[in-house]
Amino acid sequence: MLTAHTKPEISVVIPIYNEQAGLAALFARLYPALDKLGTSYEIVFVNDGSRDNSVSILAEQFRARPDVTRVVLFNGNYGQHMAILAGFEAARGEIMVTLDADLQNPPEEIANLVAKMREGYDYVGSIRRKRQDSAWRTYASKAMNRLRERITNIKITDQGNMLRAYGRNIVDLMNQCAEVNTFVPALAYRFARNPTEIVVEHEERAAGESKYSLYSLIRLNFDLVTGFSLIPLQFYSMMGMLMSLVSALLVVVLLVRRLFLGAEAEGVFTLFAISFFFMGIILFGIGLLGEYVGRIFQQVRARPRYVVQTILQQKQGESADSAQPGVEKRTVGRPHE
Ligand code: UDP
Ligand code: MG
């Protein structure tokens, strides 16, 4: 019989934030889909500081299937990617699969990801066949995807999609990273030796609503771009050089013009328009610089990235059919090493 501490082949990591409305439906599809695989597995739920009833629903599910269920409880909301990383630290499988709790990623697709992993790939990404999100979100995400691919040189066709599988080698490397603001699929791609992608279905959110506002999506994209590339900064220094060159030329032209044709007073408003335009660019540049500086600050401050309150899991050596599942108490998460 499989005990909680024998290593399973597959670990499924799922971040949970205020998902009480959809969890029952998730369990109803996830467990049968994994049972059908006919291999050992564990499911690691990470509660990212939900303020609704998610925790008690998760605890109940843990009591129902303690042999394959583990629940990591954060003491606050640290974001989806931190939750996934905490799940990776707790997970013991050889193949890690991440998916969203809202059933937008059909659990039945896990079988396809695993099959692909067994072919020898260490990173299996996925592309949503037909995306079930609002039109603006689909469009904006496609545009951002293209821009990001050029800036960061990370080849992920469909970055917004979390249904992915990672090999143990990649997860071990990710566990060594102490990045505060990061984007899990991109980080994993950096470590992948043999990545591939498959096409998967995508469904509408089963219940509840998206946890991402436009603002947090913009933040997330900054994490992705600044976390994996210096090109935005280099672009600014290049542009600065180009602009000083052009304005130096302009000074010469105006000087010559003044000497031969006299002073010019026309075009004041054009001048305003142009200078406001450049002011905008400068402000954006300063802001961008700030994005990097702020991240450096967070990184050197070296606070724990997240705090794990408790992990619900079977105690060491306890078999699935023995008495009561235990609760492992932990109070402090992993600080930066
Ligand atoms: N999530 C999380 N912490 C957060 C926001 C979201 O753990 O701060 C989880 C959420 O419960 C879900 C997944 O991340 O399992 C994706 O969230 P959502 O479906 O809201 O994002 P979308 O599909 O709109 O990109
Ligand atoms: Mg979703």
Report the residue among 102, 128, 163 best suited for mutation to probe ligand 1: largest number of ligand atoms under 8 A from its CB: 102
CA 171/CA 91 separation, integer angstroms: 9
Report which residue type is found at 108: E
Q: What is the pLDDT of residues 177-196, one digit of tens each?
A: 999 989 999 999 999 999 99
Q: Which residues line ligand 1 (CB under 6 A)?
A: 15-17, 19, 48, 77, 79-80, 83, 100-102, 104, 210-212
Which pLDDT band holds residue 336 (cuts at 50, 70, 90)? very low
The terminus-to-terminus CA distance of the chain in angstroms comes to 36
Report the residue among 23, 75, 80 best suited for mutation to probe ligand 1: largest number of ligand atoms under 8 A from its CB: 80
Ligand nearest to the CA of 217: 1
- Whose CA is closest to 190, among 198, 201, 179? 179
Point out the ligand 1 atom lying closest to the alpha carbon of residue 160.
Answer: 25
Query: Tokens 């004041």 correspond to what residue?
Result: 268
Say if residues 21 and 208 touch (Cβ distance below 8 Å): yes
Nearest CA, atom 24, ligand 1:
210
CA 48 to ligand 1 centroid distance, Å: 9
**Mean per-residue pLDDT over the chain, rounded:** 88
- Evaluate if residue 316 carries a pLDDT over 90: no
125 beta partners: 197
- Whose CA is closest to 46, among 9, 74, 69, 7? 74
CA 245 to ligand 1 centroid distance, Å: 47
Q: What is the dihedral of CA 204, 74, 58, 84, to 10 degrees?
A: 50
Q: What is the pLDDT of residues 64-118, one digit of tens each?
A: 999 999 999 999 999 999 999 999 999 999 999 999 999 999 999 999 999 999 9
pLDDT at 124: 97
Q: How much of the chain is helix, strand and coil, in % rounded to 5?
A: 50, 15, 35
CA 314 to ligand 2 centroid distance, Å: 30
Say if residues 30 and 61 touch (Cβ distance below 8 Å): no
